[in-house]
Chain A
């Protein structure tokens, strides 16, 4: 009976082969079975794979984590979120300002003398800030303007226009001063500075071009300048020395439109970059834009591997047309070379990315021999892998935090996220035009209840638009109280009367649609809680969920909604122009709730133009309060994340004389526990700590 025997023996043999393999696999207690390599590896679990390992091209969190280890920027943030030098050892920020004297008024030279004499005679701080005043000869400049698309096309037209500037005045300041011209006007009289650009434009422009060009001509100009001194002797992973040419190359690659870099908006305000010598990099900006400094944390690319010559060579090697072969096509993006603490070793798509220690790292080599980024698309699988000892850290879900916090096997880190969830009201529509209605709707919601029951206590109140741990967040602003009675009073004040338990005004009920995206369980639950809370004060909300892409395209971008539950994730920079400035309220822009407040506008612009941290914090606090008082959003919560780490991992400090000191892993001000990652080490069992 061969058939029968075959049908039974084959699967039996397969099953025996499968099961015996159990005895060859390492377990949590014996991770070094067969090989002790595991102790020298840090394995990180991730939901998704990286997309492109190039710091100027990627736009996803996974790629950003990996490139952060392979590449390094000129600066980054230290434990207290202040900037510290990395590839730059130091820097200086100052300003060059230009203005055009009014035609027929005082000559540039006369103005120069007046400013200089004022500097010696008066004691005002801003005058002492002036380092140099020069008159510069007339010069031509090319500006490009965008005109609306021609009939039947989608692209806007671009036009080059020549501007002939007369002799101007150049003022060099020791530090950036956004109020310089306002003060100069007071000093020199309002008629000293030109305000009409017409005389400097070519005479033969048509009306629409002229209108566009007028806005582009700069009669006054702030040009902030940053000079970085670069670290000497830093080597790329292939042994090539890093210098200012690489910084310039990185900038030029971002701005090269062929590369489709998503970082262009960050670097667009740059007027020019210079490399006075091998280890000095100078960048001049077209206008005041304080977020620009933080962008130099961007990883630096090796010019010698990616310049035109290298790309051409690669294209011909692959038999591709060099004219269409760009940095995006280069194999560099899958085997990157940087100057960071880890070198790229291997990438198996959707499985792992392996990095190895850079023994020549300028700050001393990291302790781990390998860093492995492992892709596990499913959270439960990730948890299981963490218990089995095949990944070293795990981000706990809100429902697991209380249980896992007590587990002796793990160390626990927890802090607030950079971002928040809110209810946004379409302020173009009734009844949301009235701030009292928005405030009342906020007061009717018991946010504490949402934190506790929807988010398992892993959330906190917030009152304004900034990262809660940052200095810009105004702690003096107290959250809206939970006060349904007060809410009813406010609505009564606003003219809404209760009829059969429903609020009405001029015969219309207070009823609207509350929309959120499909697939986000928390937001859906919040929508129901909020609906119920509003019902209690007589407000009717219809809850609806829509698939993300449709939600954004058909509702948010077309401004076709009443109220939405959404979230923002933020960076540490306090620039909120896109989200809150009144110019950003058109369809497709991010101020989709239509928030317009002239004072807020002024502050938003001031914040993005202010280079002094303390002053910026002052403006931000004011802005925070204004937005809170207007309540364009009901700020619901800022989430708390919790991360677990194997207890066997600790921080090792190498002291002179070969001694070591084992310390507990500590965090930065925002809870980042990876800050000292280069000093981490895994011990065979939980180590004892020295204080």
Chain B
């Protein structure tokens, strides 16, 4: 086990080194320059552009830029082009914003997907199975941003279809952002619940896709396990249905999900670009997206690299977890 850990750590370090080069090159080789360097600004002269390039180290050869960049990265001196703020401080701030969304979304996804998938597997071909199948494919195939807009418009502005003579007024209630503005003076209970309310739509939306996908997966795994001999034995012992499904069958069916749990980590960084943008949520995903658009190299490369690190760590944890939960496996 220890030897395995050391060996893996070594290879993963090499992988990360290669990733550091690739993520650096990728953004530098892409066309365009940081948006601060605007050659189309009539007031900019060639000297001004040169001054900017020099300040961002962009006038140096690429390999020097690489070393300068990762030197700053390691010492924590890396600063965003956009506002000269330290990159790590910015990432931390955004991380704390993305965290509640991630936690609530994950709880909803994982806690709902299992009963849904198990229920469907238990009554294979029944009405519950068919309706959850329909719902799942509906949620998987409908684009998230579209659903988000529909949901927002229905909640805020209501349903307004003059052709059908349908007019249901909306709640005219704020749903965007991390909290309602101008509520600083309100009593604490109002403020707390206000933040909770703002979690509702984005976390439900985030969970919807996850539930649809995961419950399908749970159903498939369960069906496979339900056909095995030991489940039949458990049934014939006269055990209670729920005990058979939730204790005997689920343990084996849940094995693959242990590995998926490790892969959740990188999701922390990526967040959800689309949902965060639509809901004006100041999270990590949106920062990454905007950084790419403005060619804010330090933020983009940092996030790229950090999510690579998280993936590497995540797969590593999965491997270890696998050994722990499944005694049959040896590394």
- Considering only CB atoms and an 8 Å cut-off, how many residues of chain A contact the other chain? 81
State A29–B174 Cα separation when bound (angstroms).
12
* CB-CB under 8 A for A381 and B39, given A51-B82, A52-B83: no
- Chain B residues contacting A352 (CB-CB under 8 Å) are 181
In Å, the complex CA distance between A52 and B36 comes to 11
Kindly report which residue of chain B lies nearest to residue A291, judged by CB atoms: B43
- Among the stretches B50-58, B130-138, B317-325, the one at the interface with A is B50-58
Chain A, Cβ-Cβ closest to B43: A265
B190: which A residues are within 8 A, CB to CB?
24, 33-35
Does A550 sit within 8 A of B, measured CB to CB? yes
The CA-CA distance from A25 to B175 in the complex, in Å, is: 10
- Whether B42 and A34, one on each chain, are in contact in the complex, defined by CB atoms closer than 8 angstroms, is no
Residue A348 at the chain B interface, CB threshold 8 Å:
yes
B216 at the interface (CB under 8 A from A): no
Q: Is A190 an interface residue (CB 8 A)?
A: no
Instruction: Judge if B187 is at the interface, Cβ distance under 8 Å.
Output: yes
Q: How large is the interface on B (under 10, 10 to 19, 20 to 34, 35 or more residues)?
A: 35 or more
Q: In the complex, which residues of chain B have a beta carbon less than 8 angstroms from the beta carbon of A590?
A: 40, 42
Contact yes or no, B177 A351, CB < 8 A: yes
Residue among A41, A349, A588 having the largest count of chain B Cβ atoms under 10 Å: A349
A549 and B33 within 8 A (CB) = yes
Q: Whole-angstrom distance between the alpha carbons of A29 and B181 in the complex?
A: 15
The residue that A265 contacts in the complex, of B45, B156, B204, B250, with Cβ under 8 A, is B45
Flag if A7 contacts B115 (CB, 8 Å): yes
| B197–A24 CB distance below 8 A | yes
Instruction: Find A384's partner among B38, B83, B152, B197 (CB 8 Å cutoff).
Output: B152
Task: Tell me if A521 counts as interface (CB < 8 A to partner B).
Answer: no
| Known A25-B194, A260-B55, A547-B31: A381·B176 in contact at CB below 8 Å | yes
B255 contacts partner chain A, Cβ-Cβ < 8 Å:
no
A388 touches B111 (CB 8 A): no
Interface string of B175-193 (1 = CB under 8 A from A): 1111011111111011001
CA distance A350 to B177 in the complex (A): 10
| Contact (Cβ within 8 A) B187 A10 | no
> How far is it, in angstroms, between the C-alpha of A8 and the C-alpha of B52 when the chains are bound?
57
Contacts of B152 in A (CB 8 A): 380-381, 384
The reply to whether B107 and A11 contact each other, CB–CB distance below 8 Å, is: yes
Q: How far is the CB of A84 from chain B (nearest CB, A)?
A: 24
Roughly how many angstroms separate A376 CA and B52 CA in the complex, as a whole number?
29
Q: How far is the CA of A48 from the CA of B287 in the complex (A)?
A: 11
Task: Check: B121 CB closer than 8 A to any chain A CB.
Answer: no
Chain A residues near B279 (CB-CB < 8 A): 381
A578 touches B42 (CB 8 A): yes
Interface with B: A91-99, A208-216, A326-334, A635-643, which one?
A: A326-334
Among A13-21, A445-453, A463-471, the stretch in contact with B:
A13-21
User: B278 touching A388 by the CB < 8 A rule?
Assistant: no
**Known contacts A10-B107, A374-B177; A333/B157 CB under 8 A:** no
B171 within 8 Å of A by Cβ? Answer: yes
**Does A27 count as interface, using CB distance less than 8 angstroms?**
yes
Can you name the residue of chain A whose Cβ is closest to the Cβ of B111? A11
- Tell me whether A43 is interfacial, beta carbon within 8 Å: yes
Residues of A within 8 Å of B174, CB to CB, are 25-26, 385, 388-390
Task: Establish whether residues B185 and A37, one from each chain, have CB atoms under 8 Å apart when the complex forms.
Answer: yes
Tell yes or no: B93 within 8 A of A by CB: yes
- Report how far A33 CA is from B194 CA in the complex, Å: 11
Task: Assess whether A18 is in contact with B282, with CB atoms less than 8 Å apart.
Answer: no
**Closest chain B residue to A257 by CB distance?**
B51
Q: What per-residue 1/0 map shows which CB atoms of A350-363 lie under 8 Å from chain B?
A: 11100000000000
Q: Are B173 and A25 in contact (CB under 8 A)?
A: yes
Known: A264-B48, A381-B278, A588-B39. A372 touches B107 (CB 8 A): no
Contact B156 A387 (CB under 8 A): yes
A350 to B184, CA, bound (A): 18
B183 partner residues in chain A, CB cutoff 8 A: 26, 34-35, 37
Q: Are B59 and A19 in contact (CB under 8 A)?
A: no
Q: Mark B195-225, 1 if CB is under 8 A from A, else 0.
A: 0110110011000000000000000000000
| Interface residues as binary, A368-400 with B (CB distance below 8 Å gives 1, 0 otherwise) | 001010111110110011011110000000000
Check A262 for interface membership: any CB of B closer than 8 A: yes
Q: Which residues of B contact A554 (CB under 8 A)?
A: 31
Is A118 close to B, CB under 8 A? no
> Digit string of B157-179 for contact with A (CB within 8 Å is 1, else 0)?
10000000000001111111110
Bound together, the chains give a CA A11 to CA B108 distance in angstroms of: 5
Selecting from B2-10, B229-237, B239-247, the interface stretch reads: B239-247
Chain A residue nearest to B47 in the complex (CB): A156
Can you name the residue of chain A whose Cβ is closest to the Cβ of B171? A27
Q: Does B311 contact A (CB under 8 A)?
A: no
B313 proximal to A (CB < 8 A): no
Q: Is the CB of A377 within 8 A of B277?
A: yes
Q: Does B114 contact A (CB under 8 A)?
A: yes
In the bound complex, do residue A21 and residue B196 qualify as a contact, i.e. CB atoms below 8 Å apart?
yes
Q: Do residues B42 and A579 form an inter-chain contact, with CB atoms below 8 A?
A: yes
Query: How distant is the Cα of A550 from the Cα of B29 in the complex, in angstroms?
Result: 12
Mask of B47-73 contacts with A, CB within 8 angstroms, 1/0: 110111001000100000000000000
Q: Residues of A contacting B290 with CB < 8 Å? A: 48, 350, 377
Q: Does B19 contact A (CB under 8 A)?
A: no
Across the interface, do B43 and A266 meet the contact criterion of CB distance under 8 Å?
yes
Q: Which of A6, A351, A384 has the most CB of B within 10 A?
A: A384
Of A26, A260, A372, A374, the residue contacting B52 (CB under 8 A) is A260
Partner of A387, one of B157, B243, B277: B157
Given contacts A43-B181, A376-B177, A552-B39, 16 further A-B contacts (CB under 8 A): A1-B242, A7-B111, A10-B107, A11-B111, A18-B197, A18-B200, A41-B182, A154-B50, A156-B47, A262-B41, A265-B43, A351-B178, A374-B181, A375-B282, A588-B39, A590-B40
Residues of B within 8 A of A (CB): 31-33, 36, 38-48, 50-52, 55, 59, 82-85, 90, 93-94, 104, 107-108, 111-112, 114-115, 149, 152-153, 156-157, 170-178, 180-187, 189-190, 193-194, 196-197, 199-200, 203-204, 242-243, 246-247, 250, 277-280, 282, 286-287, 290
30 A-B interface contacts by CB (under 8 A): A3-B250, A8-B115, A11-B111, A11-B112, A14-B104, A14-B111, A18-B104, A21-B196, A23-B193, A24-B190, A24-B197, A27-B172, A35-B187, A35-B190, A38-B181, A43-B181, A43-B182, A260-B52, A260-B55, A262-B48, A333-B83, A334-B85, A350-B287, A350-B290, A352-B181, A372-B181, A374-B280, A385-B174, A388-B176, A590-B40
Smallest CB-CB A-B distances: 6 pairs: A549-B32, A28-B172, A24-B193, A21-B197, A21-B196, A35-B186
